[in-house]
Amino acid sequence: MTHFFYLARCADDSLYSGTCVDLVDREKKHNDGTGAKYTRSRRPVEIIYHEEFATLSEARRREAQVKTWTKEEKEKFIISSQRP
């Protein structure tokens, strides 16, 4: 089963990071208000970046790594990942 690490942009322009097995369903849950406490008051939420991993452990390890970055570092990373 594929596991994902993702970054989502919230309506207040903050970034939320998480893991899941279905990106479409996870975005829907965030926007339904059942995804995460942090995103409930920051809807709508859009998943803007993701990475695939073979295990949940790997995805969570990446999430922990990215959570140590500042918002500025995350923004630069997102921009650089969108370049061809």
Please report the pLDDT score of residue 83 as a whole number. 78
From first to last of its 84 residues, what are the pLDDT tens digits of the chain? Answer: 999 999 999 999 999 999 999 999 999 999 999 999 999 999 999 999 999 999 999 999 999 999 999 999 999 999 999 877
> Residue 49: in which H helix or E strand, if any?
strand 46-53
Tokens of 69: 């970055």
Please report the pLDDT score of residue 58 as a whole number. 98
Domain that holds residue 55: 3-81
Domain of 8, CATH number, reads 3.40.1440.10
- Which one-letter DSSP state was computed for residue 11? T
pTM of the model: 0.95
Q: How far apart are CA 61 and CA 56, in angstroms?
A: 8
Structural domain tally of the chain? 1
Please report the pLDDT score of residue 84 as a whole number. 73
